[in-house]
Structure 1
């Protein structure tokens, strides 16, 4: 399952950035996932949870935003939703040679939310000794 390798790569990149930024905890990671990227969101979410264990991302939420697949025609300038299975023939002029996939293959970290302030739970006043 390649979702585990994707999850591990995302966790490694976010953990490195978070620790460099002084983060105490990461609460959310938002990914853009193209509908043609070949990623199963539920499998990725499961793997992400496992990959986050014992890291600054432990307990973080993964949010995936699906990017629709769109294509365009260089011949007639038509733009269309590719759909599944992908239809790369131009609906305007019928050409397949002049089409280009414009979106739908994305797999990128779009946003990370972390807490870089001193956590109240980590700060405790000393308990006065009883006399």
Structure 2
């Protein structure tokens, strides 16, 4: 179950960001972009995240997953389409092979809301993790 390793990596990155920020007392929520082609089962990730947060600064934090649909662009005709699941990488317009997979592989932290000594639920404004 690679969702547990993903959950642990997310927790580690959030803890590092909280440490850099200083006086963080609790993490309330973590928002992720999860591409439909990333091979992640959202319910399994939520379950693993909840288990892995026990005893950490993130205990009780909510995991919010924003799905990102897979999209491709045909190199020969420049048509773009939703690839769906299972992915269809053949252009529905001309039958050519997809030249570019534009989205759908994302797995990144986009926001964290935490409490610190000064301000409750202060959100971060920049991603703290890059695409896997």
Supply the distance in 1 between the matched residues of 2:36 and 2:119 (Cα, whole angstroms): 38
Normalized per residue, the structure richer in strand is 2
Which residue in the other structure is 1:58 paired with? 59
How far does the alpha carbon of each residue in 1:77-131 deviate from its partner, in whole angstroms, 9 at most, with x for none? 10000011111011121101x52211001111011111123589xxxxxxxxxxx
Higher-Rg member (1/2): 1
Report how many aligned residue pairs link the two structures.
Answer: 119
Secondary structure of the corresponding residue to residue 49 of structure 1: helix
Which residue in the other structure is 1:92 paired with? 93
| Structure 2: segments with no counterpart, 5+ residues | 121-132
What's the TM-score once normalised by structure 2's chain length?
Answer: 0.85
CA deviation after TM superposition for structure 1 residue 73, in Å? 1.1
How far does the alpha carbon of each residue in 1:20-67 deviate from its partner, in whole angstroms, 9 at most, with x for none? 212111100000000011101111001001111111111100000010
CA RMSD of aligned residues (A): 1.5
Runs of 4+, deviation exceeding 3 Å: none
Which residue in the other structure is 1:73 paired with? 74
Supply the distance in 2 between the matched residues of 1:118 and 1:60 (Cα, whole angstroms): 19
Which residue in the other structure is 2:123 paired with? none
